[in-house]
Amino acid sequence: SDIGSQKERVVTEEEWLQKWEMGNIGFHKEQGHPLLQKYLDVLLNGRSGLRIFFPLCGKAVEMKWLADMGHNVVGVEVSEQALKDFFSEHSLPYFEEPVPEISGGKMFQSTSGNISLYCCSIYDLSSSIVGKFDGVWDRGALVAVNPCDRQRYASLMINLMEKNSSYLLVTVSYDPNKHKGPPFYVPESEIKSLFG
């Protein structure tokens, strides 16, 4: 219950870029996440052609799964390498264009148009840039956000959601005094106060 030791911890964007450069990406799941398969129905709720958001997406293979099912996928990730790896590892042709609203921001889009990945900080995004979403897959995202930024992150996510959207959140449970994170430990009570 005591998250005291993690509260002040900050992982900078530079450190994340280094992890990608060094191949220090143990969080990446080559086979995708079993919990998305298990709860897919909750996410989709019988709907098709959804807009689905992947915050802090890395090169998550689940983006390919959902695009192949006919949904529109939007992701955001600070590492350009991660995004380029995603497209090349799935042999997906893509193009790259600047995002005028974001200084230094780029968008990588599959030529088929159904996967758009923004290379910038998630805090640079707003619904006026990316629109709103019918579904969110949050794995390795809330738990990767610095504890001091959680409130800002949650407010942004709520802002990016359509009225009837579904949000699947994966967290990890462990003793926060034994590991420094990320992934950070986010207690259930905090999730309730962040998302209501």
Does 158 belong to an annotated binding site? no
In whole angstroms, the minimum distance from the beta carbon of 71 to ligand SAH comes to: 17
CA distance 194 to 155: 8
In whole angstroms, the minimum distance from the beta carbon of 46 to ligand SAH comes to: 25
In whole angstroms, the minimum distance from the beta carbon of 82 to ligand SAH comes to: 5
Q: In what order do the strands lie in the sheet with 115-119?
A: 94-98, 106-110, 115-119, 72-77, 51-54, 133-139, 161-170
In whole angstroms, the minimum distance from the beta carbon of 151 to ligand SAH comes to: 14
Under DSSP, the state recorded for 33 is: -
Nearest to 153 by CA among 118, 121, 117, 188: 121
Return residues touching ligand SAH (CB under 6 A). Answer: 13, 16, 27-28, 56-58, 60, 76-79, 82, 121-123, 139-141, 144
Does 9 belong to an annotated binding site? no
Does 18 belong to an annotated binding site? yes
CA distance 56 to 120: 10
Does 109 belong to an annotated binding site? no
Q: Are the CB atoms for 124 and 109 separated by under 8 Å?
A: no
Taking the least distance from each CB to ligand SAH, the nearer of 3 and 61 is: 61
Does 26 belong to an annotated binding site? yes
- Binding site for S-adenosyl-L-methionine: what residues are annotated? 16-27, 56, 77, 121-122, 139
- Binding site: what residues are annotated? 16-27, 56, 77, 121-122, 139
